[in-house]
Amino acid sequence: MAFTSTYKQAGVDIELKESLIPLFRKIAGRTKGARVIGGVGGFGAMVAFDAAKKMRAPVLVSGTDGVGTKLKIAQALGRHDSVGIDCVAMCVNDIICHGAKPLFFLDYIGTGKLERSVAVEIVEGVARGCALAGISLVGGETAQLSDIYQPGEYDLAGFAVGLVERAKIPNPKKIRPGDVLIGLASSGLHSNGFSLVRKVIAEREFRLADRIEELGATLGEELLRPTTIYAKIAVELFRQFTIKGLANITGGGVMENLPRVMPEKVQAVIERGSWPVPPIFDFIQKLGAIETLEMDRTFNNGLGMIAIVTRDEADRIMSLLKRRKCPASIVGKIRRGPRSVILK
C-alpha cells in the first residue's frame, strides 16, 4: 500500500496562508506612509530613510514585545479585535521613551491551526494600533506550529523602529532635584500583570461574562480594554519641551520602570491620591487580597507613562496635555537620595 503525506496533513495550510496575503496587504496599505517601498508579501520590508536627511546624527531606536497572557482572555472570549492594538502599544510605548518618532512596525503570529477569521481580526487590530501610533505596518509573519500550540491558541508579538536626533535623546544626567513628575493616565491594566489577574479570577470563580457594576462593564470587556498608545503625544512633547526622562510603566510598575530613566543620587517621590486610579485596580486588589507593595510592583495603577520635566515647564506641559485631551496629573517630584521610587 502506498502512503502519501502532505504539509496540510502535518498541520500547515499553505494555501490558506497564501490566500490571506492579499488581504493582509490591503489592511497594511491603510497605514502605508511615504517611506514604505513595496508592501506586505516580500522577503523583507523596505522603508526609505528619507526622514534622516535633515538630521545631523540620526539614531534608530528599536523595540520588540508581545501581549503576554492577556491573549488567554481574548482566546477564552473568542474576541481578537483589540490585542493587535496592545501589541503595537507594547513596542511603540518603549521606543518613544528615547525621544524617537516611531516609523514602522512588523508583527508575528504563531498559532496551532490557522483560522482565517481570527488572523484577519488580529491583523485588523494591529493596523488600528499602527494608525493610532502614526506608523506604517510594513510586514510580518504567520507561523503554523501545531506541535507547539493547542487548538485555539496563538501568540502575538511585534517589532517597532523609530528615529531620533542623537542630541534629542533624553539624558538622565540632566535630571535634578526639584524636577516635576507628570503621570499620563493609563486606560486600565494595559498588558501587564495578567498572570496574577487570571489566577485571582480563577480562584474566586468569577466568569469573564459577569458584569461588574463598579467597572461599568463585564469583566472580560474590562480586561480586554486596549493599552493606550502614547506615540503622538510623546512626539509633540519632545518637540515643544525639554523632556528629561520618559518612563513606560509596564511590568514591574512604577517601582521598577521609573528608575530606568533616572541618574544615581536622585529619588522620585510620588504622592498617592494625586491621580485618579481606574476601578479595576481596587477590584483586583480586594478580590485577591493583594498587598499594596505587590500592586505597586506588578501593575501600572493608573499611570501609563511618567515624564520628568522642569518645574518651569510643568504647567505649560499640563496645559498642552489638557488641550490634547490626554488625561494627566502632576504626581510627584525629584529629590536627592539613592536612586529609587518612594510612594507616599
pLDDT confidence of residue 77: 96
Average pLDDT over residues 225-236: 98
The beta-strand segments (E) located in 78-216 are 101-111, 136-144, 154-165, 180-185, 211-212
Closest CA to 293 of 267, 333, 255: 255
> Cell triple for residue 66?
508581545
DSSP assigned state of 45: -
**CB contact at 8 A, 299 and 281:** yes
Report whether pLDDT(6) > 80. no
Q: Higher confidence at residue 181 or residue 12?
A: 181
Element (H, E) at 340: strand 340-343
Residue 56 CB contacts under 8 Å (≥ 6 apart), including other chains = 165, 166, 167
Of the candidates 252, 203, 226, 283, the residue with the CA atom closest to the CA atom of residue 73: 226
Q: Where in the chain is the domain with CATH 3.30.1330.10?
A: 14-168
Strands 245-248 and 266-270: unpaired
Which residues make up the CATH 3.90.650.10 domain(s) of the chain? 172-343
The pLDDT, as a whole number, for residue 51 is 76
In tens, the pLDDT along 79-106 reads 999 999 999 999 999 999 999 999 999 9
For the segment 130-181, what is each residue's pLDDT rounded down to a tens digit? 999 999 999 899 999 988 999 899 999 999 999 999 999 999 999 999 999 9
Confidence of residue 3 (pLDDT cuts 50, 70, 90): low
Write the pLDDT tens digit of every residue in 274-320: 999 999 999 999 999 999 999 999 999 999 999 999 999 999 999 99
> Is the backbone of residue 37 left (phi > 0), alpha (psi -120 to 50) or beta?
beta
Q: Which of 101, 91, 123 is nearest to 231 (CA)?
A: 101
Judge whether residue 1 has pLDDT over 80: no
Return d(Cα 332, Cα 330) in angstroms, integer: 6
Name every residue whose Cβ is closer than 8 Å to that of residue 203 and which is 6 or more positions away in sequence.
288
Contact residues for 166 (Cβ-Cβ < 8 A; gap 6+): 56, 57, 58, 59
Residue 278 has, within 13 A of its CA and on its CB side, a CA count of 23
Quote the mean pLDDT of the chain.
Answer: 93
CATH homologous superfamily, domain 14-168:
PurM-like, N-terminal domain (3.30.1330.10)
Q: Give domain 172-343's CATH number out of 3.40.50.300, 3.40.50.720, 3.90.226.10, 3.90.650.10.
A: 3.90.650.10
